[in-house]
Structure 1
C-alpha cells in the first residue's frame, strides 16, 4: 500500500519536472546602474560585517606591525 503511494508520487514528480523543462527560460534582465551600486554596497557591508566579527572574536590573533 505504501509502495503504491510512493509510485504515484514518483510519477507525478517526473511529470512536473518534464513540464518545467519544456517551459521557456526567462529573459535575462540587464542590471541598471542603481542595481549595480546596491549590489556593491551589500557586498561591502557583508565584508565589513565579517571583518568586524573576526576582529571582535576573542580567539583572533592580531599582530601590530
Structure 2
C-alpha cells in the first residue's frame, strides 16, 4: 500500500518536472566529435563490463545461464 502511494507521488513529481523543463535546454554546449581512439576506448569499456558481468554470473553458484 505504501509503495503504491510512493509510486504515484514519483509519477506526479516527474510529470511536474517534465512540464517545468519543457522547451528549456539545461545545458548549451558544442558536442565534441568522437575520434577513433575515443570510440575504441568506449568499445573496450563496454567489452570489459560485459566480461565482468559474465564472469560474475559464471562464478555464482545459484545461476546457471546468462540472459542476454
Same fold (TM over 0.5): yes
Q: Which runs of 4+ in 1 moved over 3 A?
A: 21-24
Structure 2 gaps of 5+ residues are 1-23
Partner residue of 2:30 out of 19, 27, 30: 27
Larger radius of gyration: 1
The alignment covers a number of residue pairs equal to 44
Q: Which has the higher contact order (CA 8 A, sep 6+)?
A: 2
TM-score, normalising length from structure 2?
Answer: 0.55
Please, what is the CA RMSD of the aligned residues? 2.5
Structure 1's unaligned 5+ residue stretches are: 1-20
> Would you tell me which structure has more helix in proportion to its own residues?
1
